[in-house]
Amino acid sequence: MSASDILIEVKNLKKYFPIQKGVFKKVVGHVKAVDGVSFSIRQGETLGLVGESGCGKTTVGRMIMGAYRPTGGEIWFQTPDGGPRLNLAEMTPAQMRPIRPHIQMIFQDPFASLNPRMTVREILAEPLIVNKVAKGAALEGRVRELIELVGLKVQYLTRYPHAFSGGQRQRICVARAMALYPRLLVADEPTSALDVSVQAQIVNLALEIQNKMGLAYLFISHDLGLVRHFSQKIVLMYVGKVVEYAPAANLFGKPRHPYTEALMSNVPSVRSDFVSHKIILKGETADPINPPPGCAFHPRCVYAQDVCSREEPLLREIGPDHVVACHFSEALDLNGCDALGCAI
């Protein structure tokens, strides 16, 4: 693959939400929800964006979708058929409209994202009608194609969302997201509201669709164990910043940030003979309004030294396509999946 295969490139992305107080709503500070995040996704590739809740990962997804305007940074999107690269971060909602079909999103709660008063046929037809993509027999044909794409029966088209299980509803959401042949799907915790038994089905469905349609995924999750199955690259975020970004094989083989090692140690073991080496993180995720000085992770880090509370570690390259923000990433001998028992 070459640089020209890059579908989306996020550079130094920031989103600061103002904190207002008093009758006159004076701005007294900012929540730095996303603070300098960079990554890229190639066509047909999956990038897992991982971190605890409140780390800013959903805000990144919403900025890519145009739901939030970034405070700073760039989001370069490659338009189809060798068209220009566009900086979505600078575009108005009206300018974004023709780009929207190419970037779709599925959400955590499939029930909340489906209109309970619309049948499945109406739900799937809506984006095709609004974007004037199909009508008449072609519209009906595409709707049938979509429901079959996600493994549901054509007879279900007349039913309403309440008649389905959580997993089936998420399939309907996936079908709707595929209606306009997107090139990038932003999946925000798409399985976390589902039973464990159904989660694997939805992940397998996403993989099947990716193989058929060659689209790219930004898969947002708090679960490092889930994204490891299908992500080519992983970004770990902590309090609005990237702490480690690497190809999945490198990251799981040899993590270089203590936060990555801790999350990895909590991925359930696949070995029945294995003695758990779980690292229990102390305390809560840092407050993004008032993060700790130096390394924001230092109050919870088992390897922290004095310098960690004084100096913020910069994100730096420590290997091919592998960047990390830790003062001691070269000195620490952190455990990878093999040692922790979560072998891929």
Could you say which DSSP state residue 87 is in?
E
Residue 339 lies near ligand SF4 (rule: CB under 6 A)? no
**C-alpha torsion sign, points 88, 49, 221, 4:** positive
Minimum Å gap between C-beta 292 and ligand SF4 is 9
Residue 179 lies near ligand SF4 (rule: CB under 6 A): no
Look up tokens 């080519």; give the residue.
Answer: 232
CB of 325 to ligand SF4, least distance (A): 7
Report, in Å, the least distance between residue 279 CB and ligand SF4.
12
Site for ligand SF4, residues 11 to 70, rule: CB under 6 A: none
In the range 257-276, which residues lie near ligand SF4 by CB under 6 A? 257-258
326, 334, 337, 342: residue in contact with ligand SF4 (rule CB under 6 A)? 326
What CA–CA distance (Å, rounded) separates 110 from 167?
8
Tell which positions 225-264 bind ligand SF4, by CB under 6 A: 257-258
Cα-Cα-Cα-Cα dihedral of 67, 68, 70, 74, to 10°? -10
Residue 193 CB, shortest distance to ligand SF4, in Å, is: 31
Contacts 24+ apart (CB under 8 A), 207-213: 209/149, 209/150, 209/174, 209/178, 210/44, 210/46, 212/149, 213/178, 213/181
Q: Which is nearer to ligand SF4, 189 or 261 (CB)?
A: 261
Integer CA distances (angstroms), 167 to 115, 151, 174, 177, in order: 16, 11, 11, 15
Per-residue string for binding with ligand SF4, 280-309, x by CB under 6 A?
---------------x-xx--x-xx---x-
Of the candidate spans 65-73, 146-154, 169-177, 324-332, the one that interacts with ligand SF4 by CB under 6 A turns out to be 324-332
Tell me whether residue 223 is exposed, middle or buried, using C-beta atoms within 10 angstroms of its C-beta: 0 to 12, 13 to 18, 19 or more: middle
Among 73, 127, 291, 313, binds ligand SF4 (CB under 6 A): 313
* Closest CB to ligand SF4 among residues 164, 259: 259
Give the nearest distance from C-beta 281 to ligand SF4 in angstroms: 11
Provide the token pair at 317. Answer: 């390259």
Alpha carbon of 233 to those of 41, 168, 265: distances in Å? 8, 28, 19
User: What amino acid occupies position 34?
Assistant: V
**Which residue, 16 or 303, has its beta carbon nearer to ligand SF4?**
303
Please give the Cα distance from 159 to 70 (Å, whole number): 39
Written as six digits, the tokens of 295 are 């390394």
User: Closest distance between ligand SF4 and the C-beta of residue 323, in Å?
Assistant: 14
**Smallest distance from the beta carbon of 50 to ligand SF4, in angstroms?**
16
Residue 96 makes CB contacts below 8 A (sequence gap 6+) with 66, 88
Nearer to ligand SF4, 42 or 300 (CB): 300
Query: Residue count at the site for ligand SF4 (CB under 6 A)?
Result: 13
User: Is residue 328 near ligand SF4 by the rule CB under 6 A?
Assistant: yes
Tokens of residue 145, six digits = 């194609």
Site residues (vs ligand SF4, CB under 6 A): 257-258, 295, 297-298, 301, 303-304, 308, 313, 326-328
